[in-house]
Amino acid sequence: MSEAILLVGGQGTRLRPLTDSMPKPLLPLAGIACTTHQLLKAKAAGVTRVVLATSYLADVFEAQYGAGEELGLELVYAVEKEPLGTGGAIANAGQFLNGNGPVLIFNGDVISNHSLEDQYRVHEESGAIATLHLTPVEDARAYGCVPLDEKGRVTAFLEKMDNPVTNLINAGCYLFDRSVIEGIGLNTVISVEREIFPELVKRHVQGYISNEYWIDLGTPEAFTRASADIISGRAFSPALGQLNLEFLADGADVAPGAAITGGTFLDKGVKIDAGALVHHSVVLADTYVGESAKVENSFVGRGVRIGAGVRLKNVAIGDGVVLSEGVEVPEGARISA
């Protein structure tokens, strides 16, 4: 498992306006891009070379990571002019692979504490052509589910249903034999979940179940939760080690009498005025939170001004938004400048 493909080309529509200028995988969790957390996890498991499958805002990735020297990895970019879907992206990125053995393929919007080494061992021992990380969820109705036989072999990929036959879902991390990647048509829009896996099941796809921490970062709520989980040590990332901090304030200016709680992350240049409360939230660089304002479970972009007394709950605020004193913001709102 020395080579990997990281899928980071999606538009992140559910995270707008946060993804208007920043691709979802580069949004910070505990102050560090999700992609960095993921690359360092792969490196810790023995990966040395990663092809980043990019499309939406592709240039931003190369500008941030270059050839990977800083991370101690070899990074290569496979850019899709038009997004090819997750399957088409894998085929396109496959042209840039140059090693041997199974390839690790992972979605760029997942934080997981499962063991890649264990998943690899299961792949090798089972003789499968693909091995899929599966995670149990409380309510599988919102997802497609993935039933297994008694030997852990995947028997089907089932679409969302009212009575799922299992609570195991696809966790977005795969080991593929190279022949599988080579078998996907080039320059075709294709989904790995909906089109490729149902075909591969007819051959041999193995399931690897893990109960470790797992989160899909599809929404602002999930992003905020994952950031707080990393800060509080509930989730582990090799990018940070085990922090167990209540909050991270990197050059932030917090007035006496302001409360920062619940694994909040404050970026550099953030200023929090007296009596304000920021709970379980992410606040990006150069944002100002006014006196006695209350920000809960929210993701706030760069250079935002939140006026005195403004209350925000479960909201996503894009860069540069100004919320004057007295403004009422409905719970769950998405606001862009």
H or E, element range at 150: none
Q: What are the E-state strand segments in 142-258?
A: 168-176, 205-209, 214-216, 248-249, 253-254
Nearer to ligand GTP, 114 or 294 (CB): 114
14 is an interface residue for ligand GTP by CB under 6 A: yes
Q: Which stretch binds ligand GTP (CB under 6 A): 40-48, 51-59, 284-292, 323-331?
A: 51-59
Q: Is 29 in the site for ligand GTP (CB under 6 A)?
A: no
Q: Which part of the chain contacts ligand GTP (CB under 6 A), choosing from 43-51, 83-91, 124-132, 199-207?
A: 83-91
Q: Least distance in Å: CB of 12 to ligand GTP?
A: 5
Residues 109-148 that bind ligand GTP (CB under 6 A): 109
Q: CB of residue 327 vs ligand GTP: minimum separation in angstroms?
A: 27
Interface with ligand GTP in residues 162-181 (CB under 6 A) = none
Should residue 89 be labelled a site residue for ligand GTP when binding is judged by CB under 6 A?
A: yes
Residue among 28, 31, 85, 94 that touches ligand GTP (CB under 6 A): 85
When asked if residue 35 is in the footprint of ligand GTP (CB under 6 A), the reply is no
Residue partners of 322: CB distance under 8 A and separation at least 6: 304, 305, 307, 337
The C-alpha atoms of residue 65 and residue 8 are separated, in whole angstroms, by 13
On whether the CB atoms of residues 33 and 64 are closer than 8 A, the answer is yes
Say whether residue 55 binds ligand GTP (CB under 6 A).
yes
Would you count residue 195 as binding ligand GTP (CB under 6 A)? Answer: no
If DSSP codes are grouped into helix, strand and coil, which group holds residue 127?
coil
Which H or E run includes 88?
helix 85-94
Identified binder of ligand GTP from the candidate list 31, 108, 207, 220, rule CB under 6 A: 108
Dist CA 15 CA 23 (whole Å): 10
- Contact region for ligand GTP (CB under 6 A) — 6-14, 63-71, 283-291, 307-315? 6-14
Backbone angles phi, psi at 295, to 5 degrees: -120, 115
Size of the site for ligand GTP (CB under 6 A): 23
Contact 30, 230 (CB under 8 A): yes
Q: Which two tokens stand for residue 112?
A: 């997981």
Angle at CA 205, nearest 5°, toward 203 and 208? 165
Which of 38, 86, 210, 297 is close enough to bind ligand GTP by CB under 6 A?
A: 86
Name the residue with tokens 């997750």. Answer: 86
Name the residue nearer to ligand GTP (CB basis): 33 or 293: 33
Q: Is 187 in the site for ligand GTP (CB under 6 A)?
A: no
CB 207 within 8 A of CB 154: yes
Q: Which residues bind ligand GTP (CB under 6 A)?
A: 7-14, 24-25, 53-55, 80, 83-86, 89, 107-109, 218
